[in-house]
Amino acid sequence: MGDYTPGETPIDATGLRVAVVAAWFNGGVTGRLLEGAQAALRDHGLPEAPVYWVPGAFELPVVAQRLARAGACDAVVCLGAVIRGDTPHFEYVAGEAAAGLARVALDTGIPVVFGVLTTNSLEQALDRCGGSAGHKGVEAAVTAIETAALLRTLPPARKD
């Protein structure tokens, strides 16, 4: 881990539009991630983000893609929790969700932040929602703000 601390650099978040896509599967965990994300947005002077609920992490990319393509937001924070079980389902869902969200960001030029916990247990997930391992919901929102703010300062993308 480097020396950088999120929020360390002054960020001009004025006018940024952030949306949240959240998975209701493992909703107790996702709800905590959402609380942290909304608090981070408020702490940066932004209104609470609209929240679009999907059944699970696998469905996050398609909704994030629609929001990004519609120009409805400057960044999308995707939240959820995929907890390992006894079958390979974990690998499929976690891998496809991550790949799908990365593809949406690259295809649209809109930051799409992977705030999906991939843990071996519920306890590990809860530790990452304000427990001993920090708050990944806060981190996801700050990442979205910082990336969207940075993109505003860069030259526009060329149309090839």
**Token reading at 94:** 């976690």
Rounded distance, CA 141 to CA 19, Å? 10
At residue 88 the predicted structure's pLDDT band, cuts being 50, 70 and 90, is confident
Q: Which amino acid is at 119?
A: T
Residues carrying an active site annotation: 89
pLDDT tops 60 at residue 35: yes
Average pLDDT over residues 65-94: 94
Q: Within 10 A of 14 (CB to CB), how many other CB atoms are there?
A: 10
Classify domain 22-149 by CATH architecture. 3-Layer(aba) Sandwich (3.40)
pTM of the model: 0.92
